[in-house]
Amino acid sequence: MAYARPQLAVNTEAEAVPARAEVRSVPIPFPKGNDRLEQKDHFIVRNGLCYAGSHLIVDMWEAENLDDIEAIEQALTKAIEAAGATLLHLHLHRFAPTGVSGVAVLAESHISIHTWPEKGYAALDIFMCGDAEPSKAIPVLREAFKPGSINVSEHKRGII
């Protein structure tokens, strides 16, 4: 029988409580000829909860620089660094007449952005696992886009 897993969410940045995350190691069996080695699975154990990662959904209103692809690239790069994540690939696409969509593929997962400059609106998804701290990306993004208002919600992915 299927059952609902608990979901945790914070509706504002102020509700998020900083906590120390631990990355657990589990033995992973390898093909014949190799002993069992320990490899990190990058699941997080925080406040008694074990999960794959934190997925932040970020809505910015009355924001700036939403059509400036260079400013967006710089903001995402700095946000990734602030979160302690590892950038693998960054791809941004400019739409005509306005708007930018893109994704930063991370070793720890991803950050995506979609902008509507004519509305002053940007939608970002920040999903990270392991030792990365996605909440540390928020102040960098706030500084880069200077939103009049911002809403951040958090979803714990893969709760065990």
Any domain includes 3: no
Average pLDDT, the chain: 83
Distance (Å, whole) CA 144 – CA 66: 10
**Structural domain total, the chain:** 1
Any domain includes 4: no
pLDDT for 146 beyond 90: yes
Strands (E), the chain: 22-28, 37-46, 49-51, 53-61, 87-94, 100-106, 109-116, 121-129, 149-157
- The pLDDT of residue 42 is 84
Any domain includes 6: no
Chain segment 89-119, per-residue pLDDT in tens: 999 999 999 999 999 999 999 999 999 999 9
Give the residue among 43, 36, 95 at the shortest CA–CA distance from 67: 95
Confidence (pTM): 0.76
Distance (Å, whole) CA 139 – CA 128: 16
Distance (Å, whole) CA 92 – CA 74: 11
Catalytic residues: 109, 114, 129
Q: Domain range spanning residue 49?
A: 13-157
Any domain includes 74: yes
Any domain includes 42: yes
pLDDT for 47 beyond 80: yes
pLDDT, mean of residues 4-8: 43
Any domain includes 129: yes
Q: Residue 37 is part of a domain; what is its CATH number?
A: 3.60.90.10
